[in-house]
Structure 1
Amino acid sequence: VQEDSRRFVSQETGHLYIAKVEPSDVGNYTCVVTSTVTNTRVLGSPTPLVLRTDGVMGEYEPKIEVQFPETLPAAKGSTVKLECFALGNPVPQINWRRTDGLPFPSKIKLRKSNGMIEIPNFQQEDAGLYECITENSRGKNIARGRLTYYAKPHWVQIIKDVEAAVEDSLYWECRASGKPKPSYRWTKNGNTLAFEGRIQTESDALIITNLSLTDAGIYQCIAENKHGVIYSSAELRVVASAPDFSKNPMKKLIQVQIGSTVNFECKPKASPKAICSWKKGSDLLQENERITLLKDGGLRLANVTKLDAGIYTCLAENQFGTASSTTNLIVTEPTRITLAPSNMDVTVGESVILPCQVQHDPLLDISFTWYFNGTITDFKRDSASGDLMIRNIQLKHSGKYVCMVKTEVDSVSSAADLIVRGSPGPPEHVKVDEITDTTAQLSWKEGADNHCPVTTYTIQARTPFSVGWQRVTTVPDVIDGNTYTATVVDLNPWVEYEFRVVANNKIGGGEPSLPSEKVRTEEAVPETPPSEVSGGGGSRSELVITWDPVPEELQNGEGFGYVVAFRPLGITTWIQTVVTSPDTPRYVFRNESILPFSPYEVKVGVYNNKGEGPFSSVTTVFSAEEEPTVAPSGVSAKSLSSSIIEVCWNAIPWKMSSGRLLGYEVRYWNNGGKEESSNRVKATGNETSVRITGLKSNLAHYTAVRAYNSAGSGPFSATVNATTKKTPPIQPPGNVIWNVTDSKVVLNWEQVKATENESEVTGYKVGKRIQKQTLQLATPMPSLPGGGAQGEPGMPPHRAGQSPAHPAPMPCQGPCPPLPHCTYVQWGKG
């Protein structure tokens, strides 16, 4: 059966309730009971539901059939379920509330179409009077019930095993909570504990005084109320023993400094507690203004002197025996810092020493520890001192330094503040408050002054066109350290800028601030005309005007271009044209009326969307020249050697040229070559001759000459030719011999006879060379029968250690004979 607002199955009664029967409810009903433990089911006998036909059910007010008890105890932490269901026509509505008006907490759930209220984890605050209100159009009925809170006992504090000495006292507390409040019972070894003079209870505690060995056993504390009972068990062990120092002996050695207070512990294991007395050496100690016998058996010795050094013995005694333990007291001189660190002001980059030197008892080892702002810092100890050296000090080293000196018996410390002064930190929050075409209003906030006041600020700027950051001009010109705003002037219009600020103090300039956001200055009329306005050249009937384009950072706005103005020299009216591309470096004016090489006055201006800017200064530019129309005259060619010819001509007069001549071009080819594939060589300026080298020997070569200028080349002259000479003789002079007499040397050689393909021998050249100097050629000698030459008087003497017959090369026109025959001799006298 599907439960809803009309049908309800009670888990308390097991019945099925139908608030208002309808024809669809007719049929057989079976009750199914399911075990929540074994999950088995039992079915009851079918029960038929028959719809009566003898009348019609009229409307009536709700009649509560399922309700909860007037009083219902609920355990702490349990889940409480209250059922409420009513018959009625129309089907009643069910609602729940607390009579104290408190709202239901979120944990409370309404189930089965409000036929059941569920309260999980029941607590004290959930107790109270609850109402179930059933209502339809004919009336309403209310069921009431009170939920009361109860709790089984549970432990707040349990008892634990205890070991105690005879004659001691025991206070054993166990504590439980519950509702109603639990009561307590005690047992010993399973039997109810009998209370008498030594054994008493106090609320939830057991008290036993003057313990004896018979008190040992297993004790149990029992807490109970009407809802439950709980148990807590523990063992009491009662011990009896003579004093024993084996597990807690006194220190063998105690070191203290003069004037201090020392405590000697004496804690033997003893049951019952031992009575302690003290000896120094063999003398029993009595209390006085410096000596105190402590309640726990210890000894206190105040204002220690050197005389207090020695052996101290603690004597412990109870009814079961005695025991003793000794210690050796050594009294030392106190540790003192003789040279302590002092407060210092230093500058970044310096080196400092913080001293820490001490005087201490030679029997004691000392250790130095340095603390920087409360944290241990590593340092290298220098001999007996604990001086701290800091090299190349930085801002991060500012702070409090503490030198801690420790020995086995005492410790001393000394502190100093170290202030490191450095250049300022970067200013913060740099921003542009206002921007115009040439100015920017900046503001910023001060950064760290690093212990040295800021004296001035410097502003730097960067653009896409600058090389890194550049210092800019400001108003005021000098920005003092207490000013946090300035105006940057002399900026270029329509340029994207970033700004940063640098703080300065007497130590130096600090780290720059972070850049401001990028801002662009406003547009303005351009102020810078192009530079290097010039021109010339080009083709016939052209006027070429050139200039260096204005850099983008000087264009001052969008829509930048050039206004090119020109006029013939002597004319007052300017011809103007516009060049819209800002990167264009030239303009060419073409007109058939332009005369060659005519002077023009030229200027170039600038403009952008804001207006026109200035023009450049006026300069004179010549129109394109006309290529030469006249060929050079008087062209001649002659052979100078077997590979060189010289071509000469007459210069073209100025009045016959149509412009400035840049030079002449000579074309040449040989007898077997073609004129179209001829070679060329140029002579610049006013030169009227040229030598052509690297030619073939004994061959006719043809040449022609023409003039050229910036417009082109003119017509060639008539062709002339020259035949190169035959090659020099290949055969060198033979049988070269020499005779030395006094200061003369006589050379003789065989004549060379030229072959048919060689040029005729016209003479010989004889040269001389002093060793390690440049070869010197004598005057050529005519051809002599048999060949020969004679050295003249005054030739330098032969140098010691050098052979007079040592050969040297000679630049002959023909080949030299094999060495040593072509010889240049050094000689001497004596």
Structure 2
Amino acid sequence: MVVGRPVMCFSVQSLAGVIFTFSWFLPSCVPAGRTGDSTLVDTVTSRQGDTALLRCYLRDGLAKGAWLNRSSIMFTGDDKWSADPRVSVVMGGGNQHEYSLQIQRVEVSDEGRYTCIVQNNLNPQSSHIYLSVKVPPRIYDVSPDVTVNEGGNVSLFCMASGRPEPTISWRHITPLAMKYQAGEELNISSITRDQAGEYECLAQNDASAPNTKSLRVTVNYSPSIHEMKFTGVAVTRAALLRCEALGVPTPAFEWYRGTKRLTRSQGTDIQTLRSRSVLSMTNMTQDRYGNYTCVAVNMLGRAAASLPLLPPSTASHGSAGRVGGALAAWLLPWL
């Protein structure tokens, strides 16, 4: 028995007729929804990476079908002419006899017009489908973290790709989530310390969920002392003086009694954690009373506040004071 080549769904003559007919139906470049011969074009939208299904029906079991992409033949019947492994034909029975084109892992290059030709009694009919491919937004470049001195200007950028072209918006990640104008660039003039923090760039289109990236803006400013307190002043009792200051970069602290700078020594300790410094003395003596000054220093400046530590005859044990309160604190003119 001689095994021959499987019979194709089209004879050479009919296939030539299909190609000839197709050349009349398909202009060289036709956008979605329009054709040169006023034939309606359906639009199928798919997202990059998904599977697209372009539906076509033979209507009865006697008709033959073919798929073409622009001027290239992809299928005639179940005979595949396309070398693309992602492409296949979905066939089904029933009243309509499905003959749909399936494209897996859709790429932007797949976008365009496809034609399904149905031939019955040498009378071909064609239907046109335009495949539109959308691409989710992707931020591919964004400003690095930025450090600026208070009062300076900041320019941030965010670049994104996608189809349709994504819109870009900005927001300051705070409890108020302040939003800024849309656009690839965000410019902030005369920045204040309240505008420091994390900023989010958001790119969005209708292909998928937005894509976001964030960056941090650090605003440097000189120190300011906002609280100075003390506890315990009786002789032989322990005394604690606490000083809190704000500033970026985080300030370093110095302590003075009068004009003498204090350091760790027997009976005296200084502990600093971030924005707070504590001076402790385990055994108060008469010579330790006097005016104590806390100085906060960073690269942009320094601030100082003073507090008098008095014997029990003139101060109550456990008194507390704040900068600008009843126990006066002032800037040292010599700092």
TM-score (norm 2): 0.46
Specify the structure having the higher radius of gyration (Cα).
1
* Greater relative CO (CA pairs within 8 A, separation 6+): 2
